Amino acid sequence: MRLRGAQPAHLAADPPGGRRPARGGLSRVAWPSAFLGIAHVLRRPVLWLSRHIGGFAELEHVGRRSGRAYATPVRAVRRGGQVVAGASFGVTSDWVRNVLAADGCRIGIGGELLDLTGPRIVAFDEARALLPPVTRFILRRLARAEQCLLLDVA
């Protein structure tokens, strides 16, 4: 018999690493779970910073179901005719899924507003050569990004 409000034993203990797996048993998020609760609070200040410091970009995308326009701060770098954006919250995050569904987006990076097309998810190791050392360190070691979104400049 279980007391009201008590959890079954297999749900009570936190899994190794402190993160619960998403539906299907796979962890969707590369960030520590402590950041997830405050991500929505940090978005506005980081958007402001993205306009004033390098390494950040403001990615404009359209919701795949709502049709609403969104602005999301991302770590991104332009290399020639391509832009690499780190998928810090995983490839199942809404902004990645919106960009893939719309087959493109716009990004404010380096004082320019660029139209991007042909999004594709690549492993971090494939994108490594396109990233400068500081961004590479931040995405891989701090944000623990395992994939990146590679887009072509239209």
Residue 60's SS3 state is: strand
Amino acid occupying residue 149: L
How would you label 47-74 residue by residue, b for 16+ Cβ within 10 Å and e otherwise? beebeeeebbbbbbbbeeeeeeeeebbb
Q: Domain locations in the chain?
A: 28-153
What tens digit of pLDDT does each residue of 20-69 get? 444 433 334 444 556 666 766 777 776 676 566 666 888 999 999 999 99
28-153 topology per CATH: Pnp Oxidase; Chain A (2.30.110)
What tens digit of pLDDT does each residue of 118-141 get? 999 999 889 888 888 888 888 877
Backbone torsions φ then ψ of 109, nearest 5 degrees: -145, 130
